Amino acid sequence: MKLAVLFVCMGNICRSPTAHGVFRSYVKDAGLDHVIDVDSAGTHAYHVGEEPDHRSQVHAMKRGYDLSDLSARQMIAADFESYDLVLVMDWDNYAIAEQLAPAHQKHKLKRLTEFCKTQQAAVVPDPYYKGDEGFEEVLDLVEDACDGLLEHLQARLKK
């Protein structure tokens, strides 16, 4: 069995590439990179082809996550066929992704924060117009949620 996860935010330059990089690292450390694929996308085409926001890269690198090989792409309806989970960062992303999702694939759509183990947050807030603390908050939430997500997928793989 192979599983694929797609992380989604608005422009695919801050939150979703951060989640992509963090979860990719967790998957590799767990020795599951041969059975879990990780990707990210944006609901909007604002930054297609661009690398993650420099601030996201700097803050992620301080925690050991390299995002430099990632580039933004826009989410498409076919992503719901290709991915087992489509994890959005906030309610706006959820609404747009839900409109794209074929009716029989809507069950794959969830908020990343649904997997948080210790943090209490409905969404991962957009750090774009915030200072350093916004990017650190994103990392704190993403690390917590990715920890819970990895446990969830490990249980799925054992079935």
Q: How many CA atoms lie within 13 A of 31 on its CB side?
A: 0
- 20: which DSSP letter? H
Is 126 marked active-site? yes
Residue of 14, 126, 144, 146 marked catalytic: 126
DSSP-assigned letters across all residues of 117-156: SS---SS----TTS-HHHHHHHHHHHHHHHHHHHHHHHHH
Rounded distance between C-alpha atoms, residue 124 and residue 129, angstroms: 14
For residues 127 and 134, the answer to whether their CB atoms sit within 8 Å is: yes
Is 73 marked active-site? no
Is 39 marked active-site? no
Rounded distance between C-alpha atoms, residue 3 and residue 69, angstroms: 21
Residue of 14, 15, 55, 90 marked catalytic: 15
Q: Catalytic positions, please?
A: 9, 15, 126
